[in-house]
Chains A and B, each alone.
Chain A
Amino acid sequence: MAGTYHFDAEDRHNAFITRADSAAFGDGRLSGIPLAIKDNISTKGMQTTCGSRILEGYIPPYDAHVVELLRKEGAAIVGKTNLDEFGMGTTTENSGFGPTTNPHDPARVPGGSSGGSAAAVAAGMVPMALGTDTGGSIRCPAAFCGIVGLKPTYGRVSRYGLIAYSNSLEQIGPMARNAADVSTLMVILCRYDARDSTSYDRPYAHAPSGEIRGMKIGIPVEYFGEGVDPPVAECVRDAIATLEGAGAVIEECSIPSMEYALAAYYVTCTSEASSNLARFDGVRYGPAVETKRSWHDEFQEFRGEHFGREVQRRIMLGTFALSAGYYGKYYAKAQMAKENVRREFERVLKSVDVIAGPTMPTVAFRLGEKSDPLSMYLSDVLTVPANLAGVPAISVPCGRVEGMPVGLQIIGRHFEDEVVVDAAYAFEQEGSA
C-alpha cells in the first residue's frame, strides 16, 4: 500500500547529509521500507553532494538507475548519507559535511567511504542502504559497523547516476543488517541498463541458502600476512573454522600479485578521478564561479577553495600519472597489474568456490588516527583486489575485537554473487546457532 514514511530517527552519528522528513512510497517488494542512499548516487529533486562543498545545492534532474528500481519497488527514500568526499577515503572523515562516527563507539570512525550508510544501518535508523565500493568502500564500513555489505560483480548493477570516482572499479551495492536483506536488494538492483555500456544482463533471482556443504573455500596466505592485526586474524580464522564445521572444505592458496594490487589500485583510481572531477568548474551546478576575472583564473581558484585536501591530493596524483612521459610508467603499468590480479583470481577460483579472509586488517580506527594518507591507503590492502579483479565480495560480521566488530570477507567468481551471499548467510546461521 502506497503512503508516506515519516522519518524522525535521531541522527547521532552525522550519518546523513540530507534527510527527507517525509518520504512518499509506493507498492512493491520494498513498500514502506525506509532506505538511505549514499550521497554520490543521483536522486531526482534531492540534493546530491558527494560529500563535497563543490556540489552543495546541486539537485539532480534525474534518478540513478538503482534509485528508479528502488522507487519502483515502493521504497521510501529517506535521505542521502555521508561519505568521504567523492568516495575518497577509508574513514568518512574526509567529508565537506563533517565526519560520521561509529555507532559502536563514537570515538571511532565508521569506515569509509560509505560510512554514513553503514552508520545509519548499524544505528537502526534504516534497515537497508545503498553504498558504493571502489576499493572497499562498502565492505570496510560494513566491517567496522558490524553489518553486511556486498560489492557486486563489476557490471551487474548499473552505474548510471553514480557520480564517478573511478569508473572501471566501482559498483553500487547493498548494505543491510543481514545477508537475507542484502540478497533481497540484489534481486532488485541487478537489472540490465542500456545507459551503462559496462552493464551486463545478469539478473539475480536468488533466495539465500544456508547449505554450504562441500563448498571449497580458499584461504590466501596474503590475507593473513604482515599488517593484519593478530586478534583480527584470529577472529577471522575462527569464523572460517565455523564454515568448515558447516561442511565447507578449506584450502590454503596464494595470490602473489596482491603485492602490486594497492599500487595498481591507487594509480588507476586517482587517474580516472583526475578526469572525472574536471567537470566541477562552477559553470553548470554547485556554487557558481565568480566571473570577475578570466574564466581560467577564476575556476582554478574555485576548485582550490571547494575541493577538500584529499580530493586535491588525488587529482594531482592522477594528473601526474596520466601525464605525457609518465603514462607508460604508471597508468599503463597499473592496467597490466590489474589484469594480472584479475587472472590470478580467476585461476585460484578455478580450484575453490570462494576465497575468504578478513575484510580489514584492523578494527575501526579512532577519529584522526589515520591522518597520514599513506597509512590510510595501506588499510585498503585486503579490499582493493576484488575491485581490480571485478569479482563479487561480501563482508559479514564475524565477532568482536576490543569490543569492535570484525568483518569476514568472502570473495567469489564473476557473476556468482549468489554464492558469496550464500556463504555469508550460512555463516550467520551457524554463528547464531
Chain B
Amino acid sequence: MKVIIGLEIHCQLNTNTKLFCGCSTDYRDDPPNTHVCPVCLGLPGALPRVNRKAVEYALRVAKALNLEVADASEFSRKNYFYPDLPKGYQITQYDRPLAERGIIEIEADDGTPKDVRITRIHMEEDPGRLVHKSGRDRAGYSLVDYNRSGIPLIEIVTEPDLRSPKEARRFLNKMRATLEYLEVFDGEREGAIRVDANISLEGHNRVECKNISSYKGVEKALTFEITRQKNQITRGHEIARETRHFNEGRGITMSSRSKEEETDYRYFPEPDLRPLHVRDWLDAITLPELPDARKVRFVEQYGISINHARTLTGDMKLANFYEEIAGDDPVLAATWVADTLLGELNYRDMKIDQVPGARFADLLALLKADAITDRAGVDVLRTMLDAHAGGGEMEMPSVIVDRLGLRKAAGDEFDDVVAKVVEAHPGAVADYHRGKGGALNFLVGQAMRETRGRADAKDLGRRIKELLDRKEA
C-alpha cells in the first residue's frame, strides 16, 4: 500500500536576539522568566518589531532551498488561548508567507535521487513553555516559563512527497545539514526542532502526528502509524481523520481527542507590523558551499567514494573535522572517520566536536606507517573515546599503543603463539588436513585472541598455514 507523508518542520533560528524584541535567545541554562521584556511577555501596550537578522536567516534558507521569495510578505495573527501564549495570539505568517515553492533533493529508498517539493517557508514566534508539576496534596499544576517566548522559528512545509519513514528521516537529515551549513540553526539545542507529520495510506484518511521533537522520533512515529493504520484497514476499520500525539518514551502515537481540528484561528494581518519587503536583503545574501556541492568536491579533491563523501558532508561539523585531518592519505582518513569513528561516537552518544582532530590525526599516522594493525587502531580509538566519556583526558595514541603493547611486532614474535595454538587444538588441525576451510579461520581467531590484536590476521593466517602444511609434509 502506497504511503504518503508530508512534513511541517519548525526550526528555531539561532539569532542572538528574539524575533520581535531585543531579549537574548541564549536561555537554556538560565532560570525561568529571566530572558523576558514587555514585548515577549505580551505586556499591555508593548509592540513587536521585526528582527532583521531573523528575516535574513530565513531568507538564506529560502534561497538555499530554491524557493520563490515574495516581494512583499506579511505577518498575521493566529488567535487561540493557551497560557504559554502571552498575547492570546501568535504572530506568524498566513496567506502571504516569506517564500513558496522549493526543492530538496534526497536519496529515495531505492538509492536514486529524488526531489521533495517544499510548499512554503514562513516565519513565526515560539510560544513560552509550560512546566507541568504534580503536587503532593493536590492535582498537578503548571508553571509558565516565557524565556522561549518570541524565539524566531521558521516553519518549512513539504508537499506529500515522502514515501517511507526512512525517506522522511533522510529528508530531515538533509534539511538539518543544509540549515547548519547556512549557520542559521543549531540542531543540537534542546527543542530546536519540532515536526508535525501528516501520514496516510493511499485511498484512506490522513492523520496528523503533532509535536515530534527529535529526528529519530519522526521515523518511529511514522513507522508506528503505518503499522497501526494497516492493522485498522485489515480489520475493516476506516482510518479516523484526526490529530495524534507522539509519545516519545513509549514510541507510540495516541489520539489527542481534542477539538483542535475545529479550532478557528481567525487569522488576520498583524496591524502592528508593516509588510516585509525583502528583495534587497535577499539580493545581498551570498550562500556558502552547501552539502551537495561539498560532496562533489570531496569526491574530486580527495578521491574518496561517493558514499563516504555523502556521509561526511551530511553533517557540517563532521565534514569540517574530516577536512582538518584528511592529511596526505584522505582515503584512509575517510574510511576511518566514516566507517569507524562515527559508529564509535554514536555508540557512546558522543559528538564529533568532542574529538580532538590532532589526536585522531596521530592515530591515522600510526595506521598509515603500518605501526599498528587496524584492529589495534580500533582499540586505541575506543580507549581514547572511553577516556573522554569517563571525564578523563585523551592520551596520545602512541602512548596508548605503548601502554597496551599494541605496536605491531616483527612477525617472528608470533611464531610461538602460532605453535602454541596449533598444539592446543589437535581436532582443528585434523579438520584442516581433512580439507575443512573453517578450521583455519578458527585457529586464526584463537591466535588473534592470544595476541590481543597486535598481530595482523592475514599474517597469522599465513604463518599457521605454513606450519600446518609443513606438518603434513
B88 contacts A284, C-beta separation under 8 Å: no
* Chain A CB within 10 A, most for which of B83, B86, B141: B83
B38: A residues at CB distance < 8 A: 60-62
Q: Which of A166, A167, A198, A281 contacts B83 (CB 8 A)?
A: A281
Interface flags for B75-90 (1: CB within 8 Å of A; 0: not) read: 0010101010011110
A80 to B: closest C-beta gap in Å: 13
- Give the A-B pair count, Cβ closer than 8 A: 104
Residue of B nearest to A159 (CB): B47
A133 to B: closest C-beta gap in Å: 16
A60 contacts B45, C-beta separation under 8 Å: yes
B182 within 8 Å of A by Cβ?
Answer: no
A278 contacts B264, C-beta separation under 8 Å: no
A64: B residues at CB distance < 8 A: 45
B218 to A: closest C-beta gap in Å: 30
CA distance A168 to B266 in the complex (A): 17
B141 contacts A291, C-beta separation under 8 Å: yes
Known: A60-B44, A62-B38, A197-B273. A275 touches B83 (CB 8 A): no
B43 within 8 Å of A by Cβ?
Answer: yes
B160 within 8 Å of A by Cβ?
Answer: no
A341 within 8 Å of B by Cβ?
Answer: no
Chain B contacts with A in 80-115, Cβ cutoff 8 A: 81, 83, 86-89
B49 within 8 Å of A by Cβ?
Answer: yes
A327 contacts B141, C-beta separation under 8 Å: no
* Chain B CB within 10 A, most for which of A162, A197, A323: A197
B81 contacts A299, C-beta separation under 8 Å: yes
B264: A residues at CB distance < 8 A: 323-324
B47: A residues at CB distance < 8 A: 159-160, 195-197
B274 within 8 Å of A by Cβ?
Answer: yes
B352 within 8 Å of A by Cβ?
Answer: no
Chain B contacts with A in 23-64, Cβ cutoff 8 A: 38, 41-50
Decide if the interface of chain B is mainly helix, strand, loop or mixed: loop
A49 to B: closest C-beta gap in Å: 10
B44 contacts A163, C-beta separation under 8 Å: yes
B219 to A: closest C-beta gap in Å: 34
B45 contacts A284, C-beta separation under 8 Å: no
> How many residues belonging to A are interface residues under a CB distance threshold of 8 Å?
46
Known: A278-B79, A283-B144, A322-B266. A197 touches B43 (CB 8 A): no
B203 within 8 Å of A by Cβ?
Answer: no
B385 to A: closest C-beta gap in Å: 47
A50 within 8 Å of B by Cβ?
Answer: yes
A279 within 8 Å of B by Cβ?
Answer: yes
Q: Which of A62, A197, A296 contacts B274 (CB 8 A)?
A: A197
B263 to A: closest C-beta gap in Å: 10
A94 within 8 Å of B by Cβ?
Answer: no
B45 contacts A41, C-beta separation under 8 Å: yes
B202 within 8 Å of A by Cβ?
Answer: no
A279 contacts B88, C-beta separation under 8 Å: yes
Known: A195-B49, A197-B49, A327-B268. A281 touches B81 (CB 8 A): yes
B45: A residues at CB distance < 8 A: 41-42, 48, 60, 64, 160-164
Known: A48-B44, A198-B274, A322-B79. A279 touches B49 (CB 8 A): no
A285: B residues at CB distance < 8 A: 43-44
Q: Which of B44, B48, B81 contacts A55 (CB 8 A)?
A: B44
Chain A contacts with B in 149-165, Cβ cutoff 8 A: 159-164
Chain A contacts with B in 132-150, Cβ cutoff 8 A: none
B89 contacts A197, C-beta separation under 8 Å: no
CA distance A283 to B47 in the complex (A): 19
CA distance A168 to B141 in the complex (A): 38
B272 within 8 Å of A by Cβ?
Answer: yes
A272 within 8 Å of B by Cβ?
Answer: yes
A306 to B: closest C-beta gap in Å: 14
B44 contacts A50, C-beta separation under 8 Å: yes
Chain A contacts with B in 24-69, Cβ cutoff 8 A: 41-42, 48, 50, 55, 58, 60-62, 64
Residue of A nearest to B41 (CB): A284
CA distance A96 to B50 in the complex (A): 35
CA distance A272 to B88 in the complex (A): 12
A278 contacts B87, C-beta separation under 8 Å: yes
CA distance A275 to B78 in the complex (A): 9
A42: B residues at CB distance < 8 A: 43-45
A319 within 8 Å of B by Cβ?
Answer: yes
Chain B contacts with A in 245-281, Cβ cutoff 8 A: 264, 266-268, 271-274
Interface flags for A304-344 (1: CB within 8 Å of B; 0: not) read: 00000000000000010011100100010000000000000
A325 to B: closest C-beta gap in Å: 9
Known: A41-B45, A50-B44, A197-B47. A275 touches B272 (CB 8 A): no
CA distance A209 to B440 in the complex (A): 112
CA distance A197 to B141 in the complex (A): 38
B43 contacts A60, C-beta separation under 8 Å: yes
B86: A residues at CB distance < 8 A: 279, 283-284
B266: A residues at CB distance < 8 A: 274-275, 319, 322-324, 327
Q: Which of A167, A198, A275, A331 contacts B79 (CB 8 A)?
A: A275
CA distance A324 to B142 in the complex (A): 32
B80 to A: closest C-beta gap in Å: 8
B298 to A: closest C-beta gap in Å: 45
A60: B residues at CB distance < 8 A: 38, 43-45
A117: B residues at CB distance < 8 A: none
A194 within 8 Å of B by Cβ?
Answer: yes
CA distance A196 to B79 in the complex (A): 21
Residue of B nearest to A325 (CB): B264
B410 to A: closest C-beta gap in Å: 76
A sample of 18 inter-chain contacts (CB < 8 A) reads A41-B45, A48-B45, A50-B44, A60-B43, A161-B45, A163-B45, A164-B45, A196-B49, A197-B48, A197-B49, A271-B268, A275-B79, A278-B87, A279-B87, A291-B141, A327-B266, A327-B267, A331-B268
Mark A residues whose CB is within 8 Å of B: 41-42, 48, 50, 55, 58, 60-62, 64, 159-164, 166-168, 194-198, 271-272, 274-275, 277-281, 283-285, 291, 295-296, 299, 319, 322-324, 327, 331
Closest CB pairs A-B (n = 4) = A278-B88, A322-B266, A167-B271, A168-B271
Known contacts A62-B43, A278-B79; can you find 16 more A-B pairs with CB under 8 A? A41-B45, A48-B44, A48-B45, A60-B45, A61-B43, A64-B45, A160-B45, A160-B47, A275-B77, A278-B81, A279-B44, A279-B87, A281-B88, A284-B86, A285-B43, A327-B267
